[in-house]
Amino acid sequence: MQTETLVTNEAKNDFLAGRMALKNALNQYLSKSKIHPLEKVVIKNSQSGQPYIEGYEILHCSIGHSYGLGVGAVAPFRVGIDVEKIRPHLNSLANYIAEPEELLLVENFFNNQTDKITLVWTVKESVMKALGIGFKISPKQVKIVGQGNRFFEVEVLDSTPSYWYVRPVDTEDYYISVAYEKKYGQKTSVDWDSEIGISSANA
């Protein structure tokens, strides 16, 4: 799986930053198969709103952006990525997206300064993006049920339950979370130069 981040100076460029990050993620992913980087990458959206890469429909991909930072992920299996700028949130948001036990699970994940609400949000949204359902279900149906070494275990309580690993990254100003199904195992690597595909670039 390959992921990419791209920073822009203006929030209005978030959309383009996400697209560019996905292009970079695809090229890093292809480079592992000794395929030369592509100059032109056409990104489209399915009827459900999920992005896909023209000519590489066999691959799964995901895009996120927040306050000038765009991120993209590419993998041969379902993958979701989300990014959120670390900033204050109303406690009412926590009540809307999570149960008290979930907030306890994420507490101090990075350190004693962990922003629980922002972290929970990125974890859950990365899973919902991988599923391609957005907010068609309540965030509380995407339940954080366990914590491991640098990852969370997530269960989707839907008509067709599914089980996920989510690996968050703290970039000081942002939290980025990458989700993939548990059946691919904990050994699936997620970092800025990995099988799954995360990377970064500055505009």
Q: What pLDDT score was predicted for residue 36?
A: 83
Query: 134 pLDDT band (50/70/90 cuts)?
Result: confident
pLDDT > 90? residue 97: yes
Overall number of domains in the chain:
1
CA pair distance 185, 168, nearest whole angstrom = 16
In angstroms, the CA 128 to CA 131 distance is: 5
Q: Are 116 and 158 in contact (CB under 8 A)?
A: no
CB 192 within 8 A of CB 178: no
Residue from 179, 176, 178, 173 nearest 113 by CA? 173
Spell out the alpha helix ranges (H) of the chain: 14-31, 91-97, 100-106, 116-131
Domain that holds residue 160: 2-202
The model's pLDDT over 142-163, given as tens digits with 9 standing for 90+, comes to: 999 999 988 999 999 988 899 9
**CATH number of the domain residue 87 falls in:** 3.90.470.20
Q: Are 172 and 7 in contact (CB under 8 A)?
A: no
pLDDT, mean of residues 108-136: 92
What is the average pLDDT score of the chain?
85
